[in-house]
Amino acid sequence: MSEINSTGQAATASSTKTLTETKRLLASVTSIIQRYLSKCINQTFDSLDDSLFELANSARTNNEQSCFFDAMREIRIKRRSIEEYANSAIPLFITEPRRVDIILQKQKEISSELTLLGEQELEELVLMESAASRVRVDYSGDLLLSQQRLYNLYESSGMVTERQSTTTALDPQVICRIISQSCSCLEVEAKEKLLVLRHIGYQLQESYGLLLHAVNEHLADNGILPSLKFKSATDATAATMHQSTSAEATTANTEQSNTQHSADTYAELQSLLAKMRKTGNEPEKQANDETFNEPAYVVSEKELLQVLADVQRHHIPENLADGRAELIDLKEIFSTALNGDNSSAKKKVVNQENDDAINLVSMLFEFILDDYNLSAPIQVLISRLQIPILKVVIKDPSFFSRSTHPARRLLNALAKAGIGWNDASEKSKDKLYDQIHNIVRKILDEFDGDISLFTRLNDDFQRFLDREGRRASIIEERTKEAEIGRIKTQKAQNTVKSTLKGLTGNQAVPEVAREILENGWSRVMFLSYLKNDKENRWLEAVKVAEELIWCLSPPVSSADRERWTRVAPGCIKALKKGLQEVSYNSAGLDDTLSQLKAVLAQTFKHPLASQAATAKPANTVTPITEPGETAHTEQPLHAENSAELIAISNMQTGDWIEFSLVNGSRFRCKLSAKIDDPDCYIFVNRLGLKVVEKSRMELANDLAMGRLSVLEQGLLVDRALDAVMGNLRKITAKQA
C-alpha cells in the first residue's frame, strides 16, 4: 500500500486557483506532455527504422523483404501524422477530465470481451496494457503525486465537482490508448504494426519518469500542493505493512537458510574431494616424495587466468555450433600448459582451492553434457562455457554457494529456455537459438572477470523471453480454445449422427422425412447440443425427432391413433419453428412440410398397408446420450500399462515431453490442455502452435514402448550439483 502524506492536504486551501490561472497551468502541463510525446515518438521511430532495415537485410524471401521496406516507407510518411494526432488529443483529456473516465471505462469493457476481438486486436491490446502496467509499477510514487496535484487543480477551480477518482490524463493507460489510436492510420501488416507498438511500449517504460518528474516540479513550483510527499505507509495500513514486513523477514530468513544450506553443500563438496585425495592419491604422493623433495611452484591467480585465456582461444571453435558437445580435460590441459615438456624446471601447480574449483567445474559440465533434457544444439552452445564458468568460480567461489549467483542464474535460464528447442529447427532462422548463441559469444569475447556481465546478459535474456512468452501465451490460448471448440463440435456432430441412427434403426423412413432429419433437424440438434449447458434444449430436440419417427410408424391400436392425433400437429409445429431458426430451405420450407404432412396423413389413414414396410426391429435402437456422457466404452486397461497410465494421468499442463518417431527423429512439445470429455491431450510447441493430439491410452502405450519421455524442468545447475554430490558420496563410501 502507498498513500499520499497527509501533510500535503493542508496546502489544499491555499492552492485554490481562478479559472484563468487554471487554464494557464493546464496549457503549460499540456505543453510538457506534448513535448514528451513528440520526443518519445521520434526516438521510437528512429530505433524502429533501424530495426526494420536490419529485418529487411536478414529477410528470407524477396516478398518478406519488400514487406519490411514497405513498412519503413509507410512509417516515414505517417510519423508526422501520428505525432500530430497524439498531440492534438492531449489537450482534450487535460481540459476535460471526464473524458479520462470515459476512455478507461471503454477500455475496461473491451478487456472484458476479449473473445470478441480478433487476434491482431487482442495482441495490440495486450501489448499496450502490459506497457501501461509496467509504467504504473515502475513510477507508482511519481504517478500518484502528479495525478493528485492535477486533480487538486481541477477541484480548486471548480472544473470537477464530484470527486470519484484521481485518475487523469497522466495515467499511462490513457497515454497508451492515445498512441495506439494514433497508429491506427498505419497501413502495414499485422506483425509490423505490433513491432511499432512494442517499440513505443519500451520507450514509454524507459522515460515515463521524466514526464512525471517535470509535471510534478512544474505544478509544485506554481503552488499546487508544494508540500505533498509520497509516503510508503500510513497508520491505517500499519497492520498490513506489519504483516508484509513479517512476510519479508520470513522470506529473508528462508533465503538466508537456503544460502547457509548451499554454503554447507559447498563445504561438503570440498570435504568429499579432500577424502578422495587422501585415499586415492596417497601412493602417488609417496612416490613423488622419493624422487624429488623440492617444493612445487604455485601459480598465481593472474597466471592461472592467463592460461585459461590461452586455452579458450585454442579449444573453442570460431563457429560455436561446430562439432559436438565435448568435455574439456581441464586437468590435462593445465598440466601441459603449466609445465610443458621441461621436466627439469620446478613443477608448477595450482593451489588446493583452485584445484577443487577445476574438479568441480569439470564434474558439473560432465553432468550437463550428459543431461538428456537439453536438446543437442543448445547443449553444444552451453558446453562452450566451461572455461568462462571456471574463470567465474576462480574469481567468485560463491557460484556454488549462492543459487542467485548471476552466472548460475544465466546458465539455468539458458537451459530452461532451450528445453523446447527441437533439433529439426533451423538455427539460422530461430530467434531463441540466435539469442543463446549471441549470449555465449559475448561471454567468450567480453568476460574479463566482471561478474556483472552475467547480470546484464540475464536481464536482456529475460526481457527477450518475456516478449516471446507473451506472444506464445496468446497463440497457445487461442490454439487451446480452437481445439476445445473443434473437439466439442466434433463430438456434437458424432452424437447427433449416432442419436438419429439409433432412433431410425432399420425403419423405412420416407424420403421427405429423412431429408428433414438428416439435413435440417440435425442442425437444430447440433446447436441444441452445443447450447445445452445454458438452455437445456438437447432433450427437447431429440424428443421432436423421436416423435416424428414414431408418427411415421403406422398406428394400429385405438390408443396409438388417439395419441397420434395429439402428437403429430405439435411435432409439425416444432419442426417448422426449429427449421426456421437454422434457416433450412427458407424458400421451400412450407412445401417440404406440406409433403411431410401428406406422408403422415397417408400413414394414419392406411396403417395396415404400411405396417409391414415400416416395422422397426426392437434391437436396433441405441441409447441416447446427453452432453457430458460417453457414447462408447473404452477398451479394458492392460495390467502392464497401469503404471504408465498413472504416469500419464499425473502429467500437468506445462510439462515438456519428447516424442521419438519411427524414422529415428525426435521432437519436443508442451502439454497445453487435458480435455476429459473426450479423453484428449493437446500438445503445442514453444511458439504455442499445436503439434500433436493423443488420448491417454495412446500416450501410455508410447511411454511403455519408449517413444515418449517426460523432460525434467528443474534448475540445471542445481540438478548438476546434486548429481555431483551423489557421485562423490558413492566414490568416497567405496574407498572407505
What's the alpha-carbon Rg for the chain, to the nearest Å?
A: 37
Mean pLDDT of the chain: 76
CB neighbour list of residue 285: distance below 8 Å, 6 or more residues apart: none
**Whether the Cβ atoms of residue 461 and residue 435 lie closer than 8 Å to each other:** yes
Structure confidence by residue, pLDDT tens digits, 510-567: 888 888 888 888 888 888 887 765 556 888 888 999 888 888 888 878 888 888 888 8
d(CA 344, CA 635): 78
Sign of CA dihedral 306, 309, 313, 316: positive
CB neighbour list of residue 607: distance below 8 Å, 6 or more residues apart: 554, 555, 556, 561
> How many helices (H) and strands (E) would you count in the chain?
27, 9
Report whether pLDDT(197) > 80. yes
Residue 158 zone, left/alpha/beta (φ > 0; ψ -120 to 50; rest): left
**Whether the Cβ atoms of residue 183 and residue 196 lie closer than 8 Å to each other:** yes
Residue with cell 505507509: 233
CB neighbour list of residue 42: distance below 8 Å, 6 or more residues apart: 79, 83
Q: How many CB atoms lie within 10 A of CB 60?
A: 10
Grid cell, residue 650, equals 499425473
Q: Confidence band (pLDDT; 50, 70, 90) for 380?
A: confident
Range name among 62-76, 462-476, 632-646 with the lowest pLDDT average: 632-646
d(CA 453, CA 436): 15
**Whether the Cβ atoms of residue 350 and residue 304 lie closer than 8 Å to each other:** yes
Domain at 639-711: CATH code: 2.30.30.30
* Pair type for strands 680-684 and 666-675: antiparallel
**Whether the Cβ atoms of residue 407 and residue 454 lie closer than 8 Å to each other:** yes
**Whether the Cβ atoms of residue 334 and residue 406 lie closer than 8 Å to each other:** no
Residue 685's nearest CA partner among 376, 375, 412 is 375
d(CA 717, CA 84): 53
Give residue 296's pLDDT: 66
Q: How many CB atoms lie within 10 A of CB 454?
A: 22
d(CA 475, CA 479): 6
Domain boundaries, the chain: 3-232, 296-476, 484-620, 639-711
2 three-class SS? coil
Grid cell, residue 203, equals 520507450
Top-confidence residue, 164 or 49: 49
Structure confidence by residue, pLDDT tens digits, 296-330: 677 777 878 888 888 787 777 778 877 777 788 77
Give residue 110's pLDDT: 57
